[in-house]
Chain A
Amino acid sequence: MPAVSKGDGMRGLAVFISDIRNCKSKEAEIKRINKELANIRSKFKGDKALDGYSKKKYVCKLLFIFLLGHDIDFGHMEAVNLLSSNRYTEKQIGYLFISVLVNSNSELIRLINNGIKNDLASRNPTFMNLALHCIANVGSREMAEAFTADIPKILVAGDTMDSVKQSAALCLLRLNRTSPDLVPMGEWTSRVVHLLNDQHLGVVTAATSLITTLAQKNPEEFKTSVSLAVSRLSRIVTSASTDLQDYTYYFVPAPWLSVKLLRLLQCYPPPEDGAVRGRLTECLETILNKAQEPPKSKKVQHSNAKNAVLFEAISLIIHHDSEPNLLVRACNQLGQFLQHRETNLRYLALESMCTLASSEFSHEAVKTHIETVINALKTERDVSVRQRAVDLLYAMCDRSNAQQIVAEMLNYLETADYSIREEIVLKVAILAEKYAVDYTWYVDTILNLIRIAGDYVSEEVWYRVIQIVINRDDVQGYSAKTVFEALQAPACHENLLKVGGYILGEFGNLIAGDPRSSPLIQFNLLHSKFHLCSVPTRALLLSTYIKFVNLFPEIKATIQDVLRSDSQLRNADVELQQRAVEYLRLSSIASTDILATVLEEMPPFPERESSILTKLKKKKGPGKVPDVEETKKERNSDMNGSTEPASVNSSAVTMSTPSTSTDLLGLGSAPVLNSVAPPSAGGSLLVDVFSDNSPAVASLAPSAEENFSSPRIGSTDVVSDDPAAAVHDADELVDKFVCKNNGVLFENQLMQIGLKSEFRQNLGRMYIFYGNKTSTQFQSFLTAVICQDALKTQLNIQTKQVDPAVDGGAQVQQILNIECVSDFVEAPILNIQFRYGGALQNMSVKLPVTLNKFFQPTEMTSQDFFQRWKQLAAPQQEVQKIFKAKHPMDTEVTKAKIIGFGVALLDMVDPNPSNFTGAGVIHTKNIQVGCLLRLEPNTQAQMYRLTLRTSRETVSQRLCELLSEQF
């Protein structure tokens, strides 16, 4: 039974809760609940009208059942009825039920809105508060539509009670977050700013939250808030602890309001007005001084509140990044906290210092704490804190301390928690590359990385070490020697074998002079581990072997014997079998000249941004993108670079086996093709062997795994041409539709799929046309749109099934209704099945629903643009990519593409007329994300630099990926 039951106790409810608590098993609980549900249902359905109290009690019971985790599918109507009750407690329970169990049932929303409207108009402050809370809790679009006009009036009306003002301010804030387009700006905004001067600190607190959010979107309009906020803040920090009465929290004057004001100021650059600026600096100094004063209380609440204000002040100092004196003081203060006995403070100090490390004024000051941070890494018991220490080491790393930091991180990696190992591996790999003066150090570091944490070394990392070794001839001999030694270990990680196999295949000759690493010893060493590896590694090793045939003719026979063995030639894995067959054939019929050309050393890779960095950025972001997708994306960009767009499309579509191995080093690109293309003399044989598919030549480089699985050499008949099981998921399809809405999505000999689509805000409609190109009817024609994994919650797609029979020559249409719930990366997949002449056909295509489709263009002036641009300056908000032009650089075409992308093309904004700038808002159901972009072409270098800034990292990232594929 309840310990206390204040207010109006509901006895029946208390008894029910007791019963549930006394249930011995889950089954008993469910039984009791079902009994109660049946009882309530019969009461609600009964002929006798229920009195308000019973209705309230039953609704409350339903709520309790729901909160236990059971589904509730009735009672909503009764709850809505309670809203119109005159009894406060009944009304209150009605609102609570609705807040917790919102239902987008439109009929109900209308009734709820009606109840809310009455209460808002009641002029009874308690009822008004209930209604405002309900709007804020539900925050749905329908409610926003119904009330956004009224709430600002309530907020600024002179006769509104303070408590209602507070509710109205936060209610408006909530609606502005969910449906910013519906909140009208106007005359009220200037009056809201003046709430910062209000007598009632509660009102100021609520208003500051609202103003901060509004100012982030419309900084110009709320500019006057800066001086008001500074003077308010100054009054608080200089006040005696008793001045603010109940707003003093454990001897700290108004900590919540102080923090909110400091946050509001972080929406703006340092104040231009000298007097305001001086006053703010004084405030910040006072806050820093107070940190040195002895505490007024031993309670943790006192120090927490005090330090909360201090950390927020430091954030503001870092944001302004203009007062070297304050920055250094902040850094010293954080330095003290690094050794504080409170774990929380150590954690926060490490975190704050990370941002401080990127300021030029304080970078050196941060570096002086390196020993403390390294010590934290070794001694902290809390993984959260150690993680922050890793972050800080990464942030403070530069050429002067890179060797030490990398060594410490490697050291820590041996014992690091599994949850953060992969991230540390990436960080070490990036730092080692970035600050490598001596590349032998780099190679050693990466090999150590593989030795210590091989399982956490992703493909990006070992691809990268190979790229670097290939590009730098001063380190090739050393690398070959080092990997050869590392491979001597009885048990070595498979990733090491991959790196080792690749490097020896390329540069094994550089160490072959030493009798201890003669060709045969190298080969035997690799081959001794062959049978223990996975298929992709074995495939790579086979390529190494054929490279050996070229490098070391003396062991050709041994290698041929291995290739000829049944375990290779008749391997169950088609990829391995194919390689063995082809390599054996190549080694026996090609002359040495041809072998030397085909198996020539890999040419240097084009310089590009490390894919490891991209991976780390992604890892830090929320929805982690699967790695395969990422590498696939890269491959496509490479293909686009080398082939005409038209043929890319067709080759991608007809690719009949989805490749399982990912792109190794992104090698499907043009330079490789050119360098190994057969010379005209003596090339006849090759031309013969590779008959119709010249790109296949590239696949002879041991690296280009990818190419092996696509155009099959001389074995086209082995690969089934059966379109069943074909998965056409190439991203080019999606890329092709990024800047346009209509076109042919897919075509083969049986059918053509056309697309027409339109998008408005977060909604879209797509018309899909299925054309039967044959004269025979398709039967059991069935389509399905599949949203995988995270996409399920990010996109809502509704569609009706089409007629199961499609006549020969006929075309059927299907309509998809699409709602974007939140930002997303993946594309939905359209799966089509039908019977054609008795055979089941099955195909999948990616639907070009991309994030940019939900853009609404925004026109703005140059001044606005740069103002906003500056506000989005946090490192995670900006994504930049530099890339080579794949198409001729034509201004008009570029303009059309940017407009097609969905943003407004802003003329005369960028001081450099050849640059392009654009702005727009991504509309999703949950949020709206403002987005600014800038594209800077460099015609001389045939390169572009694309920069995107949005308030959301994932959005910046995705939009950049999408748009950069277009030029």
Chain B
Amino acid sequence: MMHFMLLFSRQGKLRLQKWFIAIGEREKKKIIREMTQSVLARQPKTCNFMDWKDLKIVYKRYASLYICCGMEDQDNELLTIEIIHRYVELLDTYFGNVCELDIIFNFEKAYFILDEFLMGGEVQETSKLSVSKCIEESDLMQETMEEYMSKPAF
């Protein structure tokens, strides 16, 4: 089970944080600080895994953005890299060649997409088509649903 997913920039600016466990704000800030520091300090050409307390950290870099996940010990590391990749693909499909600015300005969308893909720290839907369709539908929904709902019921 994934405990958290963090997106941060090369400069250590946090762009997205998703927590699948209940912990306090102070603890969260501490983890964020430690994660950005230790992931950014890693040399190039190293593996994508790190041990941290009783968690396994799996991270991957996309241009200026790092995505870093805290996994439990028995979770599959390679597949976690692909969870990260699939999420980036989903963002890419939605925004069309996603860049850091898209995530900054549309952070709520980035959350919605993540919610369609992961839930409770587990993969919910691995099909790119299904997830993208859900998101597209909910974007359309705002018009159709609004129109639908504003009609008098009788």
A interface, CB within 8 angstroms of B: 1-8, 14, 17, 21, 60, 63-64, 67, 69, 86-89, 92-93, 96, 100, 102, 126, 133, 136-137, 139-140, 163, 166-167, 170-171, 173-174, 177-178, 201-202, 205-206, 209, 245-247, 249, 254-257, 259, 263, 301, 304-305, 307-308, 311-312, 315, 343-344, 346-348, 381-385, 387, 621-622, 793, 926, 953
Contact = CB atoms under 8 A, between A and B. Distances in A.
Contacts of A249: 82, 86, 126
A308 B138 contact: no
B78 A307 contact: yes
A255 B82 contact: yes
B46 interface: yes
A129 to B, nearest CB: 8
Given A7-B139, A86-B145, A177-B1, 9 more contacts: A4-B106, A88-B142, A93-B108, A202-B126, A209-B122, A308-B82, A381-B45, A383-B46, A793-B24
Interface in B33-87: 43, 45-51, 53-54, 74, 76-79, 81-82, 85-86
Interface string B120-142: 11111111111000100111011
16 contacts: A3-B95, A3-B101, A69-B14, A89-B141, A100-B111, A102-B22, A133-B119, A170-B119, A201-B126, A206-B123, A255-B79, A308-B77, A344-B49, A344-B78, A347-B49, A384-B51
Contact of B109 (A6, A178, A206, A307): A6
A126 B141 contact: yes
Contacts of A163: 125, 130, 134
Contacts of B49: 344, 347-348, 384
Interface in B96-130: 96, 99, 101-102, 104-109, 111-112, 115, 119-130
A173 B120 contact: yes
Given A67-B17, A307-B78, A384-B47, A2 B101 contact: yes
Query: For chain A, what secondary structure do more than half of its interface residues adopt (helix, strand, loop), or is it mixed?
Result: helix
B120 A3 contact: no
B108 A63 contact: yes
B78 A166 contact: no
A748 to B, nearest CB: 38
A668 to B, nearest CB: 34
Contacts of A301: 82, 85
Contact of A621 (B54, B76, B106): B54
Question: Considering the complex of A and B, which 7 residue pairs feature the smallest CB-CB distances, nearest first?
Answer: A174-B120, A2-B105, A308-B78, A382-B46, A308-B79, A246-B127, A622-B54
Contacts of B50: 384
B79 A5 contact: no
B74 to A, nearest CB: 8
Nearest to A176: B120
A478 to B, nearest CB: 39
Contacts of A140: 22
Given A60-B108, A344-B77, A381-B46, A793 B27 contact: yes
B105 A17 contact: yes
Interface of B: 1, 14, 17, 20-22, 24, 27, 29, 43, 45-51, 53-54, 74, 76-79, 81-82, 85-86, 94-96, 99, 101-102, 104-109, 111-112, 115, 119-130, 134, 137-139, 141-142, 145-146, 149
Contacts of A100: 111
A3 B82 contact: no
Contact of B145 (A88, A96, A381): A88
Contacts of B51: 384, 387
Nearest to A203: B125
B59 to A, nearest CB: 11
A173 B106 CA distance: 29
A643 to B, nearest CB: 38
A426 to B, nearest CB: 16
A17 B111 CA distance: 17
Contact of A622 (B48, B53, B101, B139): B53
B112 A96 contact: yes
Contact of B102 (A4, A96, A621): A4
Contacts of A67: 14, 17, 107
Q: In this complex, which of B22, B24, B120, B146 has the most chain A Cβ atoms within 10 angstroms of its Cβ?
A: B120
Given A259-B76, A381-B46, A3 B102 contact: yes
Contacts of B123: 205-206, 209, 256
Contacts of A247: 126-127
A60 B86 CA distance: 26
Given A4-B95, A126-B141, A259-B76, A170 B47 contact: no
B146 A87 contact: yes
Contacts of A8: 142
A202 B124 contact: yes
> Which of B47, B81, B95 has the most CB atoms of chain A within a 10 A radius of its CB?
B47
A809 to B, nearest CB: 44
A751 to B, nearest CB: 36
A453 B105 CA distance: 51
Contact of A202 (B22, B43, B54, B127): B127
A8 B142 CA distance: 8
B109 A305 contact: no
Contacts of A383: 46
Given A4-B102, A246-B129, A206 B142 contact: no
Contacts of A245: 127
Contact of B119 (A63, A126, A167, A953): A167
Given A166-B124, A202-B124, A304 B24 contact: no
Query: Which of B27, B127, B139 has the most chain A CB within a 10 Å cutoff?
Result: B127
B48 A92 contact: no
A479 to B, nearest CB: 37
Nearest to B73: A876
A3 B105 contact: yes
A21 B46 contact: no
Contacts of A347: 47, 49
Residue of B95, B128, B138 with most partner-chain A CB within 10 A = B138
Nearest to A68: B14
Given A308-B76, A382-B43, A206 B82 contact: no
B22 A87 contact: no
A89 B112 CA distance: 11
Nearest to B24: A793
Contacts of B99: 3
